[in-house]
Amino acid sequence: WVLAVGSPFGLDQTVTAGIISTRERSTPVSSSFQRFLQTDAAINRGNSGGPLVNMRGEVIGINSQIATSTGDYNGIGFALPSNEASFVYSQLVAGGRVKRGYLGVLLDSVKAEFARVYGLKDAKGAIITDVREGPARTAGIQVNDIIVEFNAKTIANSQDLINKVASTPVGETVQLTFLRDVNGQLERRTVSVSVGERPPRSPEALPTPSSTPAMPKLNSGKPGSDRPTLGLTLSELTPQLANERNLKDVRGLLVRDVDQSGLAYEAQIGENMVIQRVNRIQVNTLAEFEKVIGSLKVGDAVVMNVSYLDRSNRITQTIIQFTYQ
């Protein structure tokens, strides 16, 4: 049980009771570093900034916001965890601003599909999907490396790694343990990384809209068959086409169109993405893509490495994970 203390609607010293519904909850207004305690203790206007305490009288959170369709309490409230509040407070007192650790990478979480394709024992770890200028690149971290430990502590997912890095003092040297795919075998390696300071947030990375005509569609299944349909319209990304689209040195298959009834749409594959690898196999031609997809059975895991241009016109990479069903 927990108690929320505050002054809702100007009513001083009001106490409400509830439970912790979940931890590590993200909200539409939270940043990458903020995860909240969700509670059903009544929180209304005037509660913000009040403490959320446990049955031992310990402050475990700062009441901050609610999820509501009416503007008033609907049974879902959020509190910033006390350890995060303490971290921010100490930095503000010491330097007048908050400094967060930075590696210079984009991440995705290891999910069940990725674990199956790469032969991992469990779905834990953070996949490096892109490496920017920064400490990670200096240390030799590469795209597709799988971070499994941070200072000898197991990494559960990408958010876990983000939290650990963000809370590490700038300039501190940490040990990153990762798995790297070398000729089809995963090698375990450890490197030392000097944590940098996170720069101001850049524009959201999203694919740019399409302006090209559609090509014949690859549905992966034969007409009338029971095979799942990807619903992708693809074309080979020739060097000339890559240069025209500011995708220099990128090789793979350009997504021209995505059928909303297909698996690709559900997996959030978008127009103008370039599919480069499928299940660890490079695909530069339609024939290579069809061969890999054609070998899949219903229920198989699919992991695609894709690239695209973000809103800053910068080549960005990510990983798509889904089940062929």
For 67-123, the pLDDT digits (tens) are 877 777 778 889 999 988 888 888 889 888 888 899 999 999 999 999 999 999 999
Q: Are residues 111 and 188 in the same domain?
A: yes
Strand partners, 63: 79
| Residue with more model confidence, 295 or 210 | 295
Based on the domain organization, do 231 and 191 belong to the same domain? no
| Residues 56, 147 within the same domain | no
Quick check: pTM over 0.85? no
Q: Does residue 167 sit in the same domain as residue 259?
A: no
Q: Given a cut of 80, is residue 183 above it in pLDDT?
A: yes
Structure confidence at residue 164 (pLDDT): 92
- Indicate if the alpha-carbon torsion angle 190, 112, 293, 262 is positive or negative: negative
Where among 163, 197, 231 does a domain terminate?
A: 197
Residue 87 lies in a domain: yes
> Which residue, chain included where needed, has tokens 């619903």?
231
pLDDT given at position 5? 93
Does 226 share its domain with 316? yes
- Give the pLDDT score at 269: 94
What local confidence, expressed as pLDDT, does residue 226 receive? Answer: 60
For range 252-266, the mean pLDDT: 93
120 and 82 fall within a common domain = no
Q: What is the DSSP letter of 291?
A: H
Has residue 204 got a pLDDT over 60? no
Complete DSSP assignment for 270-301: -TT-EEEEETTEE--SHHHHHHHHHT--TT-E
Query: Last residue of a domain, which of 95, 124, 144?
Result: 95
For range 51-75, the mean pLDDT: 86
| CATH of residue 143 | 2.30.42.10
Same domain, 42 and 7: yes
The CA distance from 126 to 134, in Å, is 18
User: Would residue 205 count as lying in a domain?
Assistant: no
Position 202 scores a pLDDT of 56
In a domain, 272, yes or no: yes
Classify residue 157: in a domain, yes or no: yes
Question: Is 246 found in the same domain as 161?
Answer: no
Q: What's the mean pLDDT when you consider all of the chain?
A: 87
CA distances from 148 to 17, 39, 128, 180, 196 (A): 39, 31, 11, 11, 20
Share of the chain above pLDDT 90, in %: 63
Q: Indicate whether 302 belongs to any domain.
A: yes
Is 105 within the bounds of a domain? yes
31: confidence class by pLDDT, cuts 50, 70, 90:
low
Length of the chain, please? 325
**Are residues 123 and 83 part of one domain?**
no
At residue 32, the pLDDT reads: 64
In the chain, DSSP finds a helix count (H) and a strand count (E) of 7, 22
Q: Is residue 204 part of a domain?
A: no
How many domains, the chain?
A: 3
pLDDT band at 217 (very low <50, low <70, confident <90, very high): very low
Asked whether residue 210 carries a pLDDT value surpassing 50, the answer given is: no
- Residue that terminates a domain, selected from 169, 197, 225: 197
180 and 161 within one domain = yes
Mean pLDDT along residues 116-139: 94
Residue 291: which domain range?
A: 217-323
For residues 278-299, average pLDDT: 95
Q: Do both 183 and 164 map to the same domain?
A: yes
Of 215-219, 243-247, 312-316, the poorest mean pLDDT is in 215-219
Residue with tokens 């940490």: 174
In a domain, 203, yes or no: no
Q: What percent of the chain clears pLDDT 70, i.e. is strictly above it?
A: 90
Q: Do 64 and 116 belong to one domain?
A: no
pLDDT, position 74: 77
Residue 275, number of CB atoms within 10 A of its CB:
22
Q: CA–CA distance from 308 to each of 108, 145, 209, 295 (Å)?
A: 16, 19, 11, 26
Task: Specify the pLDDT at position 57.
Answer: 92
Would you state the pLDDT for residue 28?
A: 59
- Out of 57-71, 122-136, 179-193, 258-272, least confident range: 57-71
Strand ranges of the sheet holding 77-81, from the earlier edge strand across to the other edge: 14-18, 2-6, 51-54, 59-66, 77-81, 36-39, 20-25
| CATH number of the domain to which 51 belongs | 2.40.10.10
